[in-house]
């Protein structure tokens, strides 16, 4: 079978950095083709070439679509030629309806300059039906969950009837059941003959839905695998160039007896809309213990962390090392020895206007200054020490944080929160969007911190992570703790069952 979409000998460099060094990429008609690789492997560069973000002429090599050579001058040209692209970040017009979003910017809606709402809605309904979805085309997008918004973006791409549909990490911000639903949509599209390129970090999804896979490493194709060759070890080897050891490291030191963090009757108001706050949440974390909060996106996991840290208003008592502390702001929490690593690096973590070094020391300058003046020498050595300890790879402390890979950005934020040697560390999705090698480093770091006596709370959408890393797992649903068990006392099925039971109860209570 001839490929429907292929790239040959793609070479691309940025300001002297070789991003792609001769990549061949072939997608066969009707398949779901996985594109894998660690951050920095060249994945996003290849994607940007294929969807016209890097215009023809800025790279060398050839691209063919349905047998004919093509060169895209812009994303619009790629779209017009039949390359659909669904970006990783949700880009929707929140105040418009689903139908208006699906057809936003499309031409050919019929009669002249006027738009007929019912036609728009009918056509949107047809597309959503093809996807097997029951979203109302008239619904305002602001009222949808982020998973639904993602599906609206897929519908938008499909409205142009693309020959190839590229999906860029579509599950990065989805929870377990939402991922399942999305994969089901993809299987459905495949049955309808849609060819898809599936860009992801997550191996289980590749194993589940993809037909073939291309793995990039260091700007080259490290492996091109057919379904019959799919094997987790093989992917990991191709991506990392080495066989990874056991995925989760284990504690050296035993969990301490002394409770380091005690949370009693914590209540956090939910945001207006669908998301639950925290309702009467009580738990404690011993020194040296890692406690995981499992649950679906929007179950209130993050709100619990935000409530403890004073990011949002909360009621209840928080004790650190046995002492009750009044936390009205993040500053109070920080002074009490609590640190928070936020989920969204770009929005709530990095300061893009400051270089790498200042990003690490911001908020921690007091010991590095004298009479209000920053001591350059002290700051520089503290930065270099933090970068070395956490293996933050940047050309210098003056480098821009925008140039760092996702993994290095995450390690930088760890360096920032660890500078104060917190007693309690709250981690919200600590491995979201980082490559496999950094993930390992972060797991090792978490365990090391626990061994040193830090109390850790980890929120993660990946159940495997919660179960593998944590000493104790608290299952959260609808803002409440619905189950708690120690390591080894249950698996993913136990968490999912507890969530399902809680949801069933909520439905019963509502009816």
Contact positions vs another protein (CB under 8 A): 14-15, 17-19, 38-42, 53, 218-219, 309, 311, 329-331, 334-335, 340, 342, 346-358, 361-366, 369, 372-374, 376, 379-380, 383, 393-405, 407-408, 416, 435, 437-438
DSSP characters over 74-96? SHHHHHHHTEEEE-SS----TTS
Distance CA(184)–CA(414), nearest Å, equals 36
Distance CA(71)–CA(56), nearest Å, equals 5
Beta carbon nearer to another protein, 220 or 319: 220
CB of 71 to another protein, least distance (A): 20
Cβ-count burial of 451 within 10 angstroms (0-12 exposed, 13-18 middle, 19+ buried)? middle
Beta carbon nearer to another protein, 20 or 128: 20
CB of 283 to another protein, least distance (A): 23
Strands (E), 37-183: 60-65, 68-70, 83-86, 164-168
Beta carbon nearer to another protein, 102 or 434: 434
CB of 82 to another protein, least distance (A): 23
CB of 355 to another protein, least distance (A): 4
Percent helix / strand / coil, the chain, rounded to 5: 35, 25, 40
3-state SS of 386-455? HHHHHCCCCCCCCCEHHHCCHHHHHHHHHHHHHCCCCCEEEEECCCCCCCHHHHHHHHHHHHHHHHCCCE
The secondary structure element, H or E, covering residue 493 is helix 492-510
Beta carbon nearer to another protein, 243 or 508: 243
CB of 472 to another protein, least distance (A): 26
Helices 436-451 & 406-418 angle (0-180, nearest 10):
20
Distance CA(9)–CA(357), nearest Å, equals 38
Beta carbon nearer to another protein, 150 or 334: 334
Distance CA(398)–CA(459), nearest Å, equals 32
Q: Among 84, 86, 87, 59, which Cα is nearest to 73's?
A: 59
Q: What is the maximum span of the chain, computed from C-alpha positions, in angstroms?
A: 74
CB of 335 to another protein, least distance (A): 8
Beta carbon nearer to another protein, 212 or 416: 416
CB of 377 to another protein, least distance (A): 10
Number of H helices, E strands in the chain: 17, 22
- Label residue 453 left, alpha or beta by phi (over 0 means left) and psi (-120 to 50 means alpha): left
Strands (E), 313-381: 314-320, 323-325, 338-341, 369-370, 373-374
Beta carbon nearer to another protein, 210 or 356: 356
CB of 28 to another protein, least distance (A): 28
CB of 357 to another protein, least distance (A): 3
Beta carbon nearer to another protein, 195 or 405: 405
Beta carbon nearer to another protein, 279 or 416: 416
């Amino acid at each position: 079978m001839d490929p429907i979409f292929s790239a040959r000998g793609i070479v691309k460099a940025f300001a002297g950095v070789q991003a792609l060094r001769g990549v061949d990429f072939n997608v066969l008609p009707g398949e779901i083709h996985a594109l894998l690789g660690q951050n920095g492997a060249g994945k996003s560069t290849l994607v940007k070439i294929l969807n016209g973000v890097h215009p023809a002429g800025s790279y060398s090599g050839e691209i063919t679509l349905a047998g004919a050579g093509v060169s895209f001058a812009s994303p619009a040209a790629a779209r017009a030629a039949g390359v659909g692209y669904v970006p990783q970040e949700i880009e929707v017009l929140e105040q418009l309806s689903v139908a208006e979003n699906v057809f936003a910017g499309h031409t050919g809606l019929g009669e002249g300059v006027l738009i007929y709402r019912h036609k728009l809605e009918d056509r949107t309904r047809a597309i959503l039906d093809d996807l097997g979805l029951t979203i109302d085309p008239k619904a305002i997008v602001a009222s949808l969950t982020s998973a639904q918004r993602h599906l609206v973006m897929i519908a938008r791409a499909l409205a142009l009837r693309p020959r190839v549909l590229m999906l860029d990490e579509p599950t990065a911000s989805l929870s377990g059941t939402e991922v399942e639903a999305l994969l089901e949509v993809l299987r459905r599209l495949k049955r309808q003959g849609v060819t898809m390129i599936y860009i992801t970090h997550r191996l289980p999804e590749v194993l589940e839905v993809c037909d073939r896979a291309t793995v990039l490493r260091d700007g080259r194709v490290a492996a091109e695998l057919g379904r019959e060759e799919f094997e987790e070890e093989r992917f990991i080897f191709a991506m990392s160039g080495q066989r990874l050891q056991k995925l989760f490291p284990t504690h050296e030191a035993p969990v301490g007896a002394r409770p380091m963090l005690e949370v009693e009757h914590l209540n956090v108001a939910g945001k207006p809309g669908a998301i639950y706050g925290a309702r009467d949440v009580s738990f404690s974390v011993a020194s040296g213990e890692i406690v995981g909060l499992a649950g679906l996106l929007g179950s209130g996991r993050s709100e619990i962390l935000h409530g403890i840290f004073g990011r949002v208003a909360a009621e209840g008592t928080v004790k650190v090392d046995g002492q009750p502390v009044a936390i009205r702001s993040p500053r109070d929490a920080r002074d009490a020895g609590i640190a928070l690593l936020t989920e969204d690096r770009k929005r709530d973590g990095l300061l893009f206007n400051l270089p790498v070094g200042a990003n690490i020391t911001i908020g921690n300058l007091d010991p590095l200054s004298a009479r209000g003046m920053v001591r350059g020498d002290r700051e520089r050595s503290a930065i270099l020490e933090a970068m070395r300890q956490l293996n933050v790879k940047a050309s210098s402390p003056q480098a821009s944080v925008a140039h760092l890979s996702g993994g290095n950005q995450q390690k930088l934020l760890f360096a920032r929160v660890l500078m104060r040697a917190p007693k309690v560390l709250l981690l919200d999705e600590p491995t979201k969007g980082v490559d496999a090698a950094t993930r390992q480093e972060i797991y090792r770091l978490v365990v090391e911190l626990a061994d040193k006596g830090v109390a850790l709370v980890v929120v993660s959408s990946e159940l495997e992570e919660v179960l593998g890393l944590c000493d104790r797992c608290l299952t959260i649903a609808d803002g409440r703790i619905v189950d708690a068990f120690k390591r080894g006392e249950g698996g993913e099925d136990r968490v999912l069952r507890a969530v399902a039971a809680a949801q069933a109860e909520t439905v019963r209570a509502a009816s």
